[in-house]
Amino acid sequence: MIAIVDYGMGNLRSVQKSFERVGASAVIVSSAEEISRASKVILPGVGAFGDAMTNLQNRGLVRPLVEAIRAGRPFLGICLGLQLLFDVGYEDGEFTGLGLVPGRVVRFNFDGRPAARDLKIPHMGWNQVTWSDPCPLTTGIPSGSYFYFVHSYYVDPIDPAYTYGTCDYGDPFTAIIWRYNLFATQFHPEKSQKLGLQILENFANL
């Protein structure tokens, strides 16, 4: 079972419908027991880092998420679901994350950057993502492809080995992380048309 985790912060149905379009069945779940039974887990998310962590904690979902990843089950974080994997996020304060990827989540800042003065925050729309090595998540997709972003904060891993794909918005930032069974994207595959659907199909076929 592919489980899409409902913690009150995601566009869950659009993710589920995207899996349906590629012939994969994904179930929206909201309990620790359902996550523990899943063969693959997806953590989507739209909203603020601190609110998301509060919801995960209040619903008792932190432990089963961490256990699923540490047990080696394929995991896909999307947008906020990527950011929550990190140690700390600085959106409207300082908040502890899941601590599965060493690093922080910070806001784009173009102050004192004349060359970036026309860039708007949030980073919204289509942008290129590049990578150099093959990855199960991007099978059949060329490096330099465009995906759809909408975010004001980005992840800053301590260990560069976690960064698989990068995107440039003022400066390069991490757009995809990959380590063993752990995959996550800053962009929205479910909003990225054909290539986004390929990302989700690749994940379903892991």
Q: Which of 91, 123, 151, 190 is catalytic?
A: 190
Q: Which of 34, 123, 188, 201 is catalytic?
A: 188
- For the chain, strand residue ranges (E) read 2-5, 26-29, 40-43, 75-78, 86-89, 95-96, 101-107, 123-129, 145-151, 153-157, 163-169, 171-179, 182-185
Asked whether the beta carbons of 89 and 153 are under 8 A apart, the reply is yes
Task: Report the distance separating Cα 61 and Cα 55, nearest Å.
Answer: 8
Q: Which of 79, 123, 167, 201 is catalytic?
A: 79
Q: What is the dihedral of CA 184, 15, 72, 134, to 10 degrees?
A: -50
Residue 67 is a catalytic residue: no
Task: Report the distance separating Cα 13 and Cα 18, nearest Å.
Answer: 8
Residue 123 is a catalytic residue: no
DSSP 8-state secondary structure symbol assigned to residue 41: E
Measured from the Cβ of residue 139, the count of other Cβ atoms closer than 10 Å reads 13
DSSP 8-state secondary structure symbol assigned to residue 176: E
In DSSP terms, which residues pair with 157 in a beta bridge?
103
Residue 167 is a catalytic residue: no
Catalytically active residues, by annotation: 79, 188, 190
